Amino acid sequence: MKPEIHPTYVETKVTCGCGESFTTRSTVESGSLFVEVCSVCHPFYTGKQRILDTGGRVARFEERMKKSAAKGAKTSAK
């Protein structure tokens, strides 16, 4: 490896919005980092996930397609 081209890694204290903190290595020169969520408070890791209704637009589109298909069947039957 070439000397002096790689960033220096320093021990960095990462602090979460929930108050949890841990130490890692990073190229952040200040030695501290603030994050909004971590593995202690993120819903994915805590198991408190909420299922969101993501079918809103798709369901409306499919409903319109069913209606137009039914209309098309009525007009072709005449």
Q: Residue 69: inside a domain, yes or no?
A: no
Q: Is the pLDDT of residue 68 over 80?
A: yes
Q: What is the CATH number of the domain that holds 36?
A: 4.10.80.400
To the question of pTM greater than 0.85 for the whole model, the response is no
Q: What is the mean predicted confidence (pLDDT) over 53-74?
A: 82
**Structural element, H or E, at residue 35:** strand 32-35
The answer to the question of residue 1 being in a domain is yes
User: For the chain, how many structural domains are there in total?
Assistant: 1
Token pair, residue 26, equals 């990073």
Higher pLDDT, 24 or 76: 24
The whole domain housing 31 covers: 1-48
pLDDT tens digit string along 35-60? 888 888 887 777 777 766 666 888 88
pLDDT of residue 2: 85
Inside any domain, residue 55: no
Q: Examine residue 66 and state whether it is found in any structural domain, yes or no.
A: no
Let me know if residue 54 belongs to a domain: no
* Predicted local distance difference test score (pLDDT) of residue 23: 94
